[in-house]
């Protein structure tokens, strides 16, 4: 069982992702902007973060960079989960510090496989 922070501005996405994760015993917390997500990650130190890209103000690329460059949160693996599905988006996300990049709509199998892989490290 892990604590997973979901940073996404869509309540529908938050609900869908958390529903999949709860089936596997994970506990979820939420942030609906990149800035709130960065602050929440520093405060709660989750085991893993699911990060949307397209959000108002601070986008997911910027938030991922902040989290992955901060010594307090750099150890937290980040899975980007986005509608942006170009190869350049994936590459840019990984360069910002994400460990994985999944495209929406994400399947339960691919989400759980990525979560399990990163939590096992």
**pLDDT per residue as tens digits for the range 31-85:** 999 999 999 999 999 999 999 999 989 999 999 999 999 999 999 999 999 999 9
Name the band, by pLDDT with cuts 50, 70 and 90, for residue 25.
Answer: very high
- Assess contact for 99 and 78: CB atoms under 8 A: yes
Confidence of residue 105 (pLDDT cuts 50, 70, 90): very high
Q: Cα dist. 38→6, 83, 84, 108, 113 in Å? A: 11, 21, 21, 25, 24
The side-by-side arrangement of strands in the sheet containing 3-7 is 27-31, 3-7, 48-51, 78-82, 100-103
Query: d(Cα 83, Cα 107) in Å, to the nearest integer?
Result: 13
pLDDT bucket at 3, cuts 50 / 70 / 90:
very high
Residue 1 has pLDDT above 80, yes or no: yes
pLDDT at residue number 121? 75
**Predicted pLDDT at 111:** 98
> What percent of the chain is predicted at pLDDT more than 70?
100
Domains of the chain, each with CATH number or no CATH: 3-18+26-102 (3.40.50.2300)
């Amino acid at each position: 069982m892990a604590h997973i922070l979901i940073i996404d501005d869509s309540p529908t996405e938050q609900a869908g992702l958390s529903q999949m994760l709860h089936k596997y015993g994970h506990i979820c917390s939420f942030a609906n902007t990149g800035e709130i997500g960065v602050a929440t990650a520093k405060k709660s130190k989750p085991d893993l973060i699911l990060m949307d890209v397209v959000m108002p103000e601070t986008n997911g690329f910027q938030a991922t960079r902040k989290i992955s460059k901060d010594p307090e949160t750099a150890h937290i693996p980040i899975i980007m989960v986005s509608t942006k599905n170009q190869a350049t988006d994936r590459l840019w996300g990984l360069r910002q510090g994400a460990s994985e990049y999944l495209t929406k709509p994400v399947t339960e199998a691919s989400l759980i496989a990525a979560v399990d892989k990163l939590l096992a490290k």
